Amino acid sequence: MQAITLTIPPNLNVFSDDELYAFCLANPELRIERDETGHIIITLTVQDVLTY
């Protein structure tokens, strides 16, 4: 699997917990998580990469 890590400056607060949850629900084909440092990690399978 290929992972894309989005680094967002902490002062931007792009997603609240509820907003991130809604974003995950709206994109069930992606594996989306936020780590303890606030990075949003989107993991793609090879199938995902080949279809884009």
pLDDT at residue 21 tops 70:
yes
**Which residue would you say has higher pLDDT here, 1 or 3?**
3
Q: What is the mean pLDDT of the chain?
A: 77
* Stated pTM of the model: 0.65
Judging by beta carbons within 10 Å of its beta carbon (0-12, 13-18, 19+), is residue 10 exposed, middle or buried? exposed
pLDDT at residue 7 tops 80:
no
**Which residue would you say has higher pLDDT here, 1 or 32?**
32
**Which residue would you say has higher pLDDT here, 5 or 15?**
15
